[in-house]
Chain A
Amino acid sequence: MTDSSTVSAPQAAPAETDPFLLEIIRNHLITTCREMGIAMMRTSYSPMFNEALDFTCVLFDADLEMIAQAPYCPAQIGTTLHVVPAAVREIGIENINPGDVIFTNDPYRGDNHLPEFVVIKPYFHDGEILAYSINIAHMTDIGGMVPAAFGDHRNTFQEGIRFPPVKCYERDEEVPSIFKIMISNVRTPKSSYGDMKAMIGSLYLAERRIDELVQRYGPDTFVRYCREIKNVSERLMREEIAKWPDGEYSAEGVIEDDGVVADRRWTIRTTVVIRGDELIVDFIGTDSQCFGSANQTFGTTASSAYNAVLHMVASKIPYNQGAYRPISVVTEPGSFVNVSYPAASVGGNSDTHPTTVDIILKAFAQISEHSSAADGGTCGCIGFGGQNPATGEPYAHLHLEGVGWGGRADHDGNDAQFVKNGNCANTPVEVAETRYPFLNMAYELETGSVGHGRRRGGFGTRRIFRFQSDGVNIASHTNRHTVSAWGLEGGLDGSNTVIAFRRKGETEWVRAREGFGTQSYGKFSGIVMNEGDEMLFVTPSGGGYGNPLEREPELVLADVQEELISAEVARDVYGVVIRDGRVDAQATAARRNGQES
C-alpha cells in the first residue's frame, strides 16, 4: 500500500479551502493512524500483532466514510469501507453513546473473515458524533475446530465464534458478558483478552488526537475539511482512471482446490470495465461458492478489487473514501467471491485474495505496462496448537510466510515477501522459539526455482521445523501446491509450494495427501506431530515478466554469482554462457540467436 502522507495534493482543492490547513489536518489524521498502530504493537500480547503486524487502524468521519489510513494491511483497509458502516448502522447511531465501542467479526456483514476483529469508537463533540476510530486486527485464535483458524472447514460454525455487531464497551466500561463469551471460546484467553484491550486502547488514543484537532480548529472546520480531504482524493483518482482507454478487459484464474474435494479447481472470472473516469470490477461468471473455506466474502472481494486498482495507479493519491468512490464492484451472491451463510471463508482472505488481485492485474495487463506477473498467492497460514510443556497451558500460533512476487516491466519480483493482501512481517525465529515448542532447523531462500523472465519472479523460502513436544496439532490453508504463479508477456510460471513431514529418525519427506490421507496438499487439519518430528515448508516463487532471453546478461551473471540460479539455468533458460566467472559474449550471442545448441 502506498504511503500517502508525503503527497502534496491540495492544489486541486477549491479556492475557499486553505491548502495548508488541509495538509495539516490530513497529515494529523494519517499520523494518528500510525500512532494507533505503534500503540497496538507495543501493548498487544500476541506475535500476530507485535511482530507480524496483522492489523489496521483507520479513521472515519461523521458521514461514515474513511478519512485517513496508515499503510497497514490492504485487505483490512478496503474491508473497513463496508464493515464499519454496516456495524454502526445496525447498532443505530441513535443508540450510540460517548464511551461506547462497537465490536464485530461477522464475515457476512462486510468483514473479511472471522479472525478479523473490528472495534469502532465514536468521537463525540458537544453531543454529536464527528468521527470514528477503528481498529481491525487478525486474532490468532477464535475457537473452532483447529488452532489458529485455518484448515479444511466445511462451514462457519467449524471456523470459530462469530459476533454480529454488539457493544463491547458502554460508556467507557467493559460489557462483561461480551468478553466472557469471547474469552471462553478461544484457546488463548489471556493473550486474546490482552490483544482486544490493545485494540481498544488504540481507539482511545485516536480519540484524544482527533479532539486536539477539533479543539484547535473548531468542529465546523473539522467536518468541512474532512469532506474536502475525500473530494481531493476522488478528483485525483478519477484523473488516473481517465488515463486508461475505455473498454472491457477480462481475465480468469483458478484456486487449485478447497481442501474438501480433491483436485476440484475453482475459477474466478473478472472483467475490468473502464468508463471515462469510473471503473467497475465485475465478477459475474465466477464459480459457485466452494465446500471449504477458500471462499471470499463480499468485503474481501471488494477489498481485492481496490487493492488491484491501487497497484495500478501511478501517482500517490491520498487513500481515503474519495479514492474508492469511482470504483464499483459487481458480484453474484452465493458465488466463490461472495460467500453466503453458512459457508466457510477463513481461507478466502488469505489465499484467494492475492490470487484475485493477480487476476485483476492480468486484466489490466491488456492496457498497461504497470501490471505484474502473479505472486506466490498464499499467506502461508499454518496453525500450530497443543499444550505448551513450558507453561502447561494451551497455545495456538499462526505461522505466516513470505513468497516470491511476480516480475513486472521494470523490476524483478520481491523475494520472501508477504502477498499483496497484507503488509505483514514474519515472526522472528527467536520470538517463535521462545514462545512455542518448536525449533527452526533451516530458514533460507528457496533458490533455483523461480519464474524466469526478462524480469524474473522473486524467490520463496525454505524452512524446516522440528517439534519439541508431543501432540502438536497442525492445520493449514495454503495455496500454489499444484497451480503455479503465472508469467506475463513471455515470462515463465513460478515454482510451487511444498509442505511435507517426516517422523523422528526417518529420512524421507511425505506430503499430507500421501502420508495422512488428506484431500489436499495444502488445506488440511488434524496432522499431529510429536517430539523430534519435522515439517518442511517451501513457499512458491513469483512468475516472470517478459522473455528470459531478453534479460541483460550482467543480471543473469549476478544471479549466478549470488547462487540464486545455476550456470546451467543461465545457459539453458536465459541463453547466457558464463565461463571463468564472466559472461562469454560471443557464445551468449550465438546461443541467443539459436546458432548453438
Chain B
Amino acid sequence: MYREVNEMPKCGSCGKLLNVDGITVSRLGRDVMFCSERCIEVFDTYKEPKYGKAALVGIPELA
C-alpha cells in the first residue's frame, strides 16, 4: 500500500526524508532514525553537543 511522504520518518541529523527504513537508535530518550552511520556520528559529535535537546527539533517521532 502506498505511504504518502508525511507518514515517513526524517533522519535525526541531516533531516532527510527516509522513504525506506534507516538505522534506528535511541537518542535523547526516544527512538530516532538516521539515514547512515555517518549521520549518527555527526549527531553524536556535533549536533547533540551543540544544540542539546533542541537537536531533535523538527524531527518527527517515529510511528
Question: Could you tell me the distance in whole angstroms from the C-beta of B35 to the nearest C-beta in chain A?
Answer: 9
Count of B residues near A, CB < 8 Å?
A: 22
Judged by a CB distance under 8 angstroms, whether A298 is at the interface is yes
Q: Interface code B32-53, partner A: CB below 8 Å = 1, 0 otherwise?
A: 0000001100100011000100
Judged by a CB distance under 8 angstroms, whether A234 is at the interface is no
Q: Are B15 and A331 in contact (CB under 8 A)?
A: yes
Q: Of B4, B16, B57, which one neighbours A110 at CB under 8 angstroms?
A: B16
Judged by a CB distance under 8 angstroms, whether B26 is at the interface is no
Question: Could you tell me the distance in whole angstroms from the C-beta of B32 to the nearest C-beta in chain A?
Answer: 13
Q: Are A109 and B42 in contact (CB under 8 A)?
A: no
* Count: A-B pairs, CB below 8 Å: 67
Could you say which residues of chain B place their CB within 8 Å of the CB of A338?
A: 15-16, 58
The answer to whether residues A332 and B20 also contact, given A106-B5, A108-B5, A341-B5 and a CB cut-off of 8 A, is: no
Tell me if A's interface is mostly helix, strand, loop or mixed: mixed
Judged by a CB distance under 8 angstroms, whether A161 is at the interface is no
Q: Are A332 and B15 in contact (CB under 8 A)?
A: yes
Measured in the bound complex, the distance between the Cα atoms of B51 and A333 in whole Å is: 15
Q: Are B17 and A334 in contact (CB under 8 A)?
A: no
Q: Are B20 and A298 in contact (CB under 8 A)?
A: no
Q: Are B17 and A330 in contact (CB under 8 A)?
A: no
The answer to whether residues A330 and B46 also contact, given A284-B51, A335-B58, A341-B4 and a CB cut-off of 8 A, is: yes
Could you say which residues of chain B place their CB within 8 Å of the CB of A108?
A: 5, 17
Could you say which residues of chain A place their CB within 8 Å of the CB of B10?
A: 333
Measured in the bound complex, the distance between the Cα atoms of B10 and A520 in whole Å is: 33
Q: Are A273 and B46 in contact (CB under 8 A)?
A: yes
Measured in the bound complex, the distance between the Cα atoms of B16 and A328 in whole Å is: 12
Count of A residues near B, CB < 8 Å?
A: 30
Question: Could you tell me the distance in whole angstroms from the C-beta of A374 to the nearest C-beta in chain B?
Answer: 25
**Chain A residue at minimum C-beta to C-beta distance from B5:** A108
**Chain A residue at minimum C-beta to C-beta distance from B51:** A284
Q: Among B14, B38, B46, which residue has the most Cβ atoms of chain A within 10 A?
A: B14
Measured in the bound complex, the distance between the Cα atoms of B8 and A106 in whole Å is: 14
Judged by a CB distance under 8 angstroms, whether A280 is at the interface is yes
Q: Are B19 and A330 in contact (CB under 8 A)?
A: no
The answer to whether residues A330 and B6 also contact, given A86-B20, A273-B46, A280-B42 and a CB cut-off of 8 A, is: no
Could you say which residues of chain A place their CB within 8 Å of the CB of B38?
A: 325, 328
Could you say which residues of chain A place their CB within 8 Å of the CB of B4?
A: 341
Could you say which residues of chain A place their CB within 8 Å of the CB of B59?
A: 333
Could you say which residues of chain B place their CB within 8 Å of the CB of A411?
A: none
Q: Of A82, A280, A329, A333, which one neighbours B60 at CB under 8 angstroms?
A: A333
Q: Are A332 and B58 in contact (CB under 8 A)?
A: yes
**Chain A residue at minimum C-beta to C-beta distance from B7:** A341
Measured in the bound complex, the distance between the Cα atoms of B47 and A333 in whole Å is: 14
**Chain B residue at minimum C-beta to C-beta distance from A342:** B6
Measured in the bound complex, the distance between the Cα atoms of B20 and A282 in whole Å is: 24
Q: Are A90 and B47 in contact (CB under 8 A)?
A: no
Question: Could you tell me the distance in whole angstroms from the C-beta of B15 to the nearest C-beta in chain A?
Answer: 4
**Chain B residue at minimum C-beta to C-beta distance from A334:** B58
Measured in the bound complex, the distance between the Cα atoms of B35 and A89 in whole Å is: 13
**Chain A residue at minimum C-beta to C-beta distance from B55:** A284
Residues of B within 8 A of A (CB): 2, 4-6, 10, 13-17, 19-20, 38-39, 42, 46-47, 51, 57-60
8 interchain residue pairs of minimum CB distance: A332-B58, A331-B15, A108-B5, A89-B20, A333-B58, A333-B10, A341-B5, A333-B15
Given contacts A298-B15, A333-B58, A338-B16, 11 further A-B contacts (CB under 8 A): A109-B5, A109-B17, A110-B17, A164-B2, A302-B14, A329-B14, A330-B14, A330-B46, A333-B15, A335-B15, A341-B5
A–B complex contacts, Cβ < 8 Å, 21 sampled = A109-B17, A110-B17, A280-B46, A298-B14, A298-B17, A325-B38, A328-B13, A328-B39, A328-B42, A329-B14, A330-B15, A330-B46, A331-B14, A331-B15, A333-B10, A333-B17, A333-B58, A333-B59, A333-B60, A334-B58, A335-B15
Residues of A within 8 A of B (CB): 82, 86, 89-90, 106, 108-110, 164-165, 273, 275, 280, 282, 284, 298, 302, 325, 328-335, 338, 340-342
